[in-house]
Amino acid sequence: MPPVNTLGDDTTALAAPPPRARRPRGLVPEIVDTLAADMREGRLQTGDKLPTESELVARFEVSRTVVREAISRLQASGLVETRHGIGTFVMAPPEQSNFRIAPEDFATVADVVSLLELRISLESEAASLAAQRREEGHLQNMAAALAAFEASIAESSDAVPSDFQFHMEVARATGNRHFADLMTYLGTMIIPRTRINTATSAPEGRLAYRRRVHGEHQKIYQAISARDADAARLAMRTHLANSRERLRRAQPN
């Protein structure tokens, strides 16, 4: 007998969100973590349709913008897929492997810095390969991610989906599926501000912080567009090293 879909008739079967006492900047991660737990613990199963946007707004008592950003993060992590005009559905869990980076591995600043160190070596080489192998379609996708990031700055969004998308497009431009597969596995967890509030606590201020990140992304894009492998490697290394240092400076001693 197939598993019973608990959505629709019995939405109370899903995990209740935490109490309302919380910081506004924690709303998106709260929704992501709660829905991911529903999937992990079987309350949402592969093929199930997520509640509608309106239902999630009511359930979590948040705005539509917050819900949309949470869904974007779940999409980027490969947990759900949206079929336009139909809805958003739970995807099959990724194949298990011995290598695992879980949300609990991001409990401290030191944990996030450790992941940035991994990304520095991985993504710097990816940017170099992307500069050598990219095609026009890759550049168009990167440019679209940059435009979305810039639009998010204007809307005061945290720009996490477009930030992740830019790095994903660089990985895809390598022509080596393993780079993209690993980025898909890591998902938006690789963006430090999904776990640590770097933007708000950054010395230069939240808006300047995002503009600086955008400028660093543009330099990576320009080097890849120019097919300058060395410049692309350096631009990516500089960007991620700056993220690491910003993170360290933004946290209290």
Same domain, 86 and 107: no
Residue 223, pLDDT above cutoff 90: yes
* 109 and 222 part of one domain: yes
Are 46 and 92 contacting, i.e. CB atoms less than 8 angstroms apart? yes
Q: Are both 232 and 114 inside the same structural domain? A: yes
Residues of the chain above pLDDT 90, percent: 38
Q: Is the pLDDT of residue 195 over 60?
A: no
Are both 113 and 17 inside the same structural domain?
no
Q: Is residue 204 part of a domain?
A: yes
Yes or no: say if 73 and 165 are a contact pair by the CB < 8 Å rule.
Answer: no
Note down the domain range covering 170: 103-250
What pLDDT, in 10s, does the model give residues 5-30?
444 444 445 665 555 544 444 788 89
Report yes or no: 170 and 123 within 8 Å, Cβ to Cβ.
yes
Residue 83's CATH number: 1.10.10.10
The verdict on pTM exceeding 0.75 is no
151 and 108 part of one domain: yes
Q: Are residues 107 and 130 in the same domain?
A: yes
Alpha-carbon gap, residue 132 to 116, rounded angstroms: 24
3 found inside a domain: no
Q: Quick one: 149 and 29 in the same domain?
A: no
**CATH code of residue 118:** 1.20.120.530
pLDDT of residue 4: 45
Place of tokens 């050598």: 132
pLDDT, tens digit (0-9, with 9 covering 90-100), for 78-87: 788 888 788 8
In a domain, 131, yes or no: yes
Please indicate, yes or no, if residue 57 is contained in any of the structural domains. Answer: yes
Q: Regarding predicted confidence, which is higher, 198 or 147?
A: 147
Distant-in-sequence, close-in-space partners of 179: CB < 8 Å, separation ≥ 6: 122, 126, 129, 171, 172
Same domain, 192 and 81: no
Per the structure, how many domains does the chain have? Answer: 2
1 within domain boundaries? no
Q: Is residue 108 located within the same domain as residue 86?
A: no
Domain boundary, last residue among 49, 67, 90: 90
What is the reported pLDDT for 192? 60
Determine what percent of the chain is predicted with pLDDT higher than 70.
75
Tell me how far CA of residue 136 lies from CA of 126, 139, 173, 217, in angstroms.
17, 5, 10, 18
Q: Inter-axis angle of helices 177-186 and 160-173, to 10 degrees?
A: 160
Together in a domain, 82 and 113: no
Taking each helix axis as running N to C, give the angle between helix 229-250 and helix 206-225, from 0 to 180 degrees, rounded to the nearest 10.
Answer: 160
